[in-house]
Amino acid sequence: MKVLLLGTAAGGGFPQWNCACSLCTSDAPHRTQDCVAISADGRGWYLLNASPDIRAQILGSPVLRAGPGPRETPLRGALITDAELDHTLGLVMLREAPSFGVWGPDAALHAMRGALPVGRYGDWRFSPVAPEIGGLRVSALPVSDKKPKYARDSTMDGPWVVAYRIEDPATGGVFVYAPCLAAWPPGFDEFTDGADYVLLDGTFYGADEMSGATRAGVGTQAQRAMGHVPISGADGSLARIRDRPGPRWAYTHLNNTNPALAPDSPEHKEILAAGAELPLDGTLLDL
């Protein structure tokens, strides 16, 4: 199984276009909005989420570019973790694609057909998550019932957000994708057992960083409402994975306020010292 990290930043990317904080004006590596592509054979590819940066991400990845025919594309479909705008608007950019499979939690698919509605802009085949997609085994773990703002009045039952476990029956490789964790969910330890690589929610380093110097005037309640477990702290994800044997742990979906974006920061170094990774856009894994 090939896993291509197309983007590793949270919504808005890094640097964020409307921000002149010390991080966004630093020399830290630029990152596009979170998105992954997976393939069992290196020919047919499936997206995990579809970021608004998808056009640039495709054109910057030779394995995803169109060809050999004038209208052929290696993209076969997309699995979405949720219905947030930064995870689904990329589908609108792919509206010219031929019939295209989209899998995800029922509540998220309902929102994309109605309140958003992405579903009106392409020839999509919306389906619940299937156990096998493109030669890879797929399982989903509910991790949150956080609704996107545009669907906050929806009466649909959750889950609204899931994590994915992707297994390659040919190689035995296992990849877990969990870019949105409101907390460390029940069953997640078991869900990641035996995985080779786990890509975790790294949105915020600290629980209150949006009220700090990098984004003065932004309240902590706004951050907490976003539903992302912080990396640091007693209840953070780093304490959960520190010295835990097994998978390679890595962080994605980094917000532009996250000090770990700077490679020379103490926060970045602490993550690496704990045995976790902060991969950049374009990282390719063979599992």
Indicate whether 13 pLDDT > 60. yes
Residue pair 251/239 in contact by the 8 Å Cβ criterion: no
pLDDT in the model for residue 8: 98
Indicate whether 115 pLDDT > 70. yes
- Mean predicted confidence (pLDDT) in 264-270: 97
The larger pLDDT score, comparing residue 95 to residue 277, is at 277
Q: For 112-116, 212-216, 221-225, 231-235, which range has the lowest pLDDT when averaged over its residues?
A: 212-216
Indicate whether 113 pLDDT > 50. yes
pLDDT in the model for residue 37: 98
Residue 217 — very low, low, confident or very high, per pLDDT cuts 50/70/90? very low
Residue 221 — very low, low, confident or very high, per pLDDT cuts 50/70/90? low
Sign of CA dihedral 79, 81, 83, 89: negative
Q: Which amino acid is at 261?
A: L
Residues 143-170: tens digit of each pLDDT: 999 999 988 888 898 899 999 999 999 9
Torsional class of 214: left (φ above 0), alpha (ψ -120 to 50), beta (otherwise): alpha
Calculate what percentage of the chain has a pLDDT beyond 70: 95
Please report, for residues 62, 89, 111, 149, the alpha-carbon distance to residue 116 in angstroms, rounded to integers and kept in the order given: 31, 9, 6, 10
Indicate whether 133 pLDDT > 60. yes
Residues 37-68: tens digit of each pLDDT: 999 999 999 999 999 999 999 999 999 999 88
Enclosing H/E stretch for 142: strand 136-144
Residue pair 178/201 in contact by the 8 Å Cβ criterion: yes
Residue 208 — very low, low, confident or very high, per pLDDT cuts 50/70/90? confident
pLDDT in the model for residue 231: 96
| Mean pLDDT score across all residues of the chain | 91
Indicate whether 197 pLDDT > 90. yes
Indicate whether 202 pLDDT > 90. yes
Q: For 110-119, 170-179, 251-260, which range has the lowest pLDDT when averaged over its residues?
A: 110-119
- State the CB neighbour count (10 A cutoff) for residue 41: 13
Supply the range of the domain harboring residue 46: 2-286
Sign of CA dihedral 229, 175, 65, 121: negative
Residues 21-31: tens digit of each pLDDT: 899 999 999 99
Please report, for residues 72, 272, 281, the alpha-carbon distance to residue 87 in angstroms, rounded to integers and kept in the order given: 24, 27, 16
Please name which of 287, 286, 284 lies closest in space to residue 63, comparing C-alpha atoms: 284
Indicate whether 207 pLDDT > 50. yes
Query: Which pTM value belongs to this model?
Result: 0.94
Indicate whether 122 pLDDT > 90. no
Residues 89-105: tens digit of each pLDDT: 999 999 888 778 999 99
CATH of the domain at 18: 3.60.15.10
Give the count of domains, the chain.
1
